[in-house]
Structure 1
Amino acid sequence: MKLIVTGATGFVGTEVIRQALRNPAVTSVVALTRKPIQPSNTGTTKLQSVVLEDWTSPYPEASKTPPALADYLLMRGRVENVILDFAKNTPDIQVTVTKPGGIDSPNRPIRATASPAMQAIYVKFADTPIMHVSELAAAMIDQCLNGITKDPLWAKDIMDIGKRVLGEEDYLR
């Protein structure tokens, strides 16, 4: 299976790339990035980095500005909409949107590094689970390989899938 990863140099995208390159069922990984990337210590030729230069176009004036993380959320929404529209017109493409909530990792403990604005968001959405980035990446890859089970894919579903498919050795340490 060929996997296309947007946001491949970001926090979650990096983990998706790491797991996809280790997964024998994934035959090719295309990383859409702002800068070229190389897999670390994998020696694989499965990864192709496609650099997209125009990430700076302004958002439409009609967009509402979210109270926190405005640039990120607007960019994410725009990318999600473009990908969902593309998939509607392409029968061989399946997509879903993940709604993970909080994402943690050994190098980026979510509560310890959160800005005051993010702390306020966690308080507001206190019942939102916090998952390990490896669980999120594993669930995303599993949905690509085995078919999308839900759309959107909410935090509890992501965590259930991730824990089911990951081995202890697969977690980012």
Structure 2
Amino acid sequence: MVRMDTPDAVMARIAQGQELAVTGDREGARRIFEEVWDALAGPGDDTPDPLHVVTLAHYLADVQTDPAEELRWDLRALAAADSLTDDRARQHHSSLRVAGFYPSLHLNVAAAHHALGQSSEARHHLDRAAQSCEHLPENRYGRTIRGAVERLRAELDADAVGPQGQSEHRAQHR
């Protein structure tokens, strides 16, 4: 889990959900994430904080069982990143830069398209992920994302599509 420089109750609640997801309690994580989402998207004139939206949608995608729902949340996370600023990201943690979000976000969108048998869309987002990998740090996280990009590219190149148009082997992109 990322150390927070400043307290943020929404991010702390998202982190609680992510802890459940990591331990295998996807349903528990989904409940927490949906509770937070309902609070963010509730009535009111306030536009939700893009950092909250990108983080929550990114993690909500990970706990979906339906690839179409996963894609819907992945696209929501990607759209939210477009309105996120480096200043806001750094308020959460001083090391964060929005450009560093895009490799993982595009990779997840590509993997979801691939799972749905949408190779052209998958390749488009995978190319975007690969292009934005230059913004990743040279650490374990950066190596993980770069490796996942390479694995998904190999899957797409092998055209490993199963009977229902879903990938036989989902990319290990998380």
**Do the two structures share a fold, i.e. TM-score over 0.5?**
no
TM-score, normalising length: structure 2 = 0.31
Larger strand percent: 1
More RCO (CA 8 Å, sep 6+) = 1
Larger helix percent: 2
TM-score, normalising length: structure 1 = 0.31
